[in-house]
């Protein structure tokens, strides 16, 4: 349903006829680590992530997997994974 509270006008999974069903009844603002990410949108009530209702959860156990400002580290991680895949293919 389309959000009528914090992210007004945005279709959201947590919105229902009874209101926002997300933990706490509202989205949570972005945190310091999000700064620079393209998924941040400024609403009259503050800066929110367009993907995750609670950005702090995405950073609790490491980097957010949808962050757009961490391209460098994501690329490095892919480079590490690829040789593994290649060696698996060789052994078959």
Give the one residue of 5, 10, 29, 66 binding ligand SF4; rule: CB under 6 A. Answer: 66
Site membership for ligand SF4, residue 22 (CB under 6 A): no
Distance CA 66, CA 55 (A): 10
Among 15, 20, 27, 40, binds ligand SF4 (CB under 6 A): 40
Q: What CA–CA distance (Å, rounded) separates 43 from 47?
A: 6
- Given a contact cutoff of 8 angstroms between Cβ atoms, the answer to whether 41 and 51 are in contact is no
Region near ligand SF4 per CB under 6 A, out of 1-9, 13-21, 61-69, 77-85: 61-69
């Amino acid at each position: 349903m389309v959000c009528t509270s914090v992210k007004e006008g945005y279709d959201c999974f947590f919105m229902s006829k009874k209101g926002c069903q997300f933990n706490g009844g509202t989205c949570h603002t972005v945190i310091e680590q999000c700064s620079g990410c393209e998924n941040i949108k400024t609403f009259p009530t503050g800066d929110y992530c367009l993907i995750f209702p609670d950005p702090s959860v995405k950073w609790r156990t490491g980097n957010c997997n949808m962050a757009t400002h961490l391209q460098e580290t994501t690329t490095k991680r892919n480079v590490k994974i690829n040789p593994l895949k290649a060696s698996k293919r060789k052994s078959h």
